Amino acid sequence: MLTEGLQQVLTVLYPLYKDEVYKRREQMMRLTALGSLGLIAMLFALLLSPQKHRLSTPEAFLMGIVGLIWCGLFCALVLQQQYRHRLAKQVLIRIEQALGFYEEGLFVENQALYPDGWKIAWLGDRSGTFYLSVLCLLTLIFLLALLLD
């Protein structure tokens, strides 16, 4: 059983970590949107440019490198946020366990407040993979547009 002081600390920490989990996920979405917007802008600039058929090989190569660097930068930022999101989620689950949210009968008779599966549900989260895939797919489309030019 928790001491009163420890329970107060965990009660204060719980909403902070819950908020941190949501903020990190939101940050991954924002980074993906911003990175995607940049790649789409590069693609439209390339496709709508009256000079697109006059790009020399070094210019096309340089634009490809810029697209790859842009994608790499945003993928790295998303991965950083995903790592921090997972750490915060793990701590949040430990706090929930310490507060008894998964114990049967503590809050509701013959039931736990939270389903037991929630402790490991985050392991199946594929949102980070989705965000990275979107950035890589848009980069691939941009590179294909450069090659087909």
pLDDT tens digits along 1-43: 678 888 899 999 999 999 999 999 999 999 999 999 999 999 9
Q: What is the CA angle 81-36-52, rounded to 5?
A: 145
The domain containing residue 106 runs over which residues? 4-147
Residue 38: both structure tokens together: 């940049």
Q: Rounded CA gap, 96 and 36, in Å?
A: 36
Please determine, for residue 52, whether its predicted confidence score (pLDDT) is greater than 70: no
Return the pLDDT at 112: 85
Return the pLDDT at 118: 87
> Domain tally for the chain?
1
What is the four-CA torsion angle of 88, 90, 93, 95, rounded to 10 degrees? -70
- Per-residue pLDDT, averaged over 39-56, amounts to 88
Return the pLDDT at 1: 65
Task: Report whether 28 contacts 85 (CB < 8 A).
Answer: yes
Residue 103: both structure tokens together: 């114990």
Tell me the β-bridge partners of 111: 108
Q: Rounded CA gap, 31 and 38, in Å?
A: 11
Residue 109: both structure tokens together: 């008779």
Q: Rounded CA gap, 142 and 58, in Å?
A: 16
Calculate Rg over the CA atoms of the chain. 23
Task: Tell me which of 148 and 138 has the higher pLDDT.
Answer: 138
pLDDT tens digits along 57-115: 899 999 999 999 999 999 999 999 999 999 999 999 999 999 988 888 777 788 888 88
Q: Rounded CA gap, 41 and 29, in Å?
A: 18
Return the pLDDT at 54: 80
Angle between helices 4-48 and 57-98 (to 10 degrees): 160
Task: Tell me which of 51 and 115 has the higher pLDDT.
Answer: 115
